[in-house]
Amino acid sequence: MGMPSAAAVGSLSKDVAWYRKDLPSDISEMRKVLEEYSGIPPDSVDKHVKEVRDKAWEVYPYGSVGMFGFLSLNMPNFKVFPEILERVKSGEKLLDIGCCFAQELRLLAYHGAPSENLLGADLHGGFMDVGYDLFLDRNKLKSRFIVADLFDETSSLYEWNGAMDIIHASSFFHLFSWEQQVAACKRCVQLLRPRSGSLIVGRQAGNINAGEYARDGGRGSRYRHDATSWARLWEQVGDETNSKWKVDASLEMEGYFEAEGRFADWQKDTSRRLVFCVRREE
């Protein structure tokens, strides 16, 4: 199958490659959260998730919604996850940019992080409502959610400039061109406390051949990174913000997309997952 047409992207039609009927097999961590944090009976989890996914599809039909990407939690796989958890437990603030259903925040809360230290921001407020439906925690979660465009200088997100200690941003930067990513990373620098140890973590689509990849329909391009280009982008961000960052990044999951059928219907076999940790040094 070739690349999806521009008309298909953003369509509510379920007759597309990225709308899957079956849940992925590798969601044991999320099952624990849904059963033990949300109190959903084990034999009801699959039905509950599918129903909530279809609500989210009506908000915006992202590929990560159609393919149940929100069930694959990121943070447990980060080497710095124990550090992140302890820092939030000790009172530091974490912001999840492009939080979708805020599943990563629920994971932290499940592991004992005070939910009042967790914030989520997303362009689509409907996803935040769906998150409450998914996790059944509207009356106990104390996290704050902000409907905001990261690039909008009038959004309430600007009130949090310099107040964050850690930012999680997965499946976010890869939506943009190089220059747009530079701008997004500079906003993250503004949001973080201007001190050593401030942290940005995440994972996103990458490619062994780093570069701009055109969107269909003349809608610009998205930059797909390898570890070297991601580090180079942060050198530029550091130069333009008078800061210095240590970048730990790697490409993973060779053959995964083809084996699992995730994006393999239309993505190139050079696609990989880029996992990163960017730590402020000065």
Identify which of 159, 73, 157, 81 has the alpha carbon closest to the alpha carbon of residue 113.
81
pLDDT at 177 > cutoff 80 = yes
pLDDT score of 150:
95
Distances in whole angstroms, Cα of residue 141 to Cα of each of 105, 137, 158:
10, 6, 23
Residue where the block lists tokens 């999320």: 30
**Do residues 23 and 52 lie in contact, with contact meaning Cβ atoms separated by under 8 Å?**
no
Task: Read off the pLDDT band of 260 (50, 70, 90).
Answer: low
What is the Cα–Cα distance from 23 to 71, expressed in whole angstroms?
A: 9
Beta bridge partners of residue 271, listed in sequence order: 207
More confident residue, 258 or 275: 275
More confident residue, 62 or 130: 130
Beta strands in 113-158 (DSSP E): 118-122, 144-147
What is the Cα–Cα distance from 253 to 273, expressed in whole angstroms?
A: 6
pLDDT score of 3:
40
Distance of CA 246 to the CA centre of its chain: 21
pLDDT at 43 > cutoff 90 = yes
pLDDT at 268 > cutoff 90 = no
Identify which of 235, 225, 179 has the alpha carbon closest to the alpha carbon of residue 202.
225
pLDDT score of 282:
87
Average pLDDT, rounded, for the chain: 91
What token pair was written down for 48?
């509950």
More confident residue, 106 or 13: 106
pTM above threshold 0.75? yes
Task: Read off the pLDDT band of 151 (50, 70, 90).
Answer: very high
pLDDT at 24 > cutoff 80 = yes
pLDDT score of 160:
97
Distances in whole angstroms, Cα of residue 69 to Cα of each of 164, 166, 275:
26, 22, 16
pLDDT at 6 > cutoff 50 = no
Instruction: Give residues with Cβ within 8 angstroms of 25, minimum separation 6.
Output: none
Question: Which whole number is the average pLDDT over 173-196?
Answer: 98
- Backbone φ and ψ of 137, nearest 5°: -130, 25
pLDDT score of 16:
84
What is the Cα–Cα distance from 187 to 195, expressed in whole angstroms?
A: 15
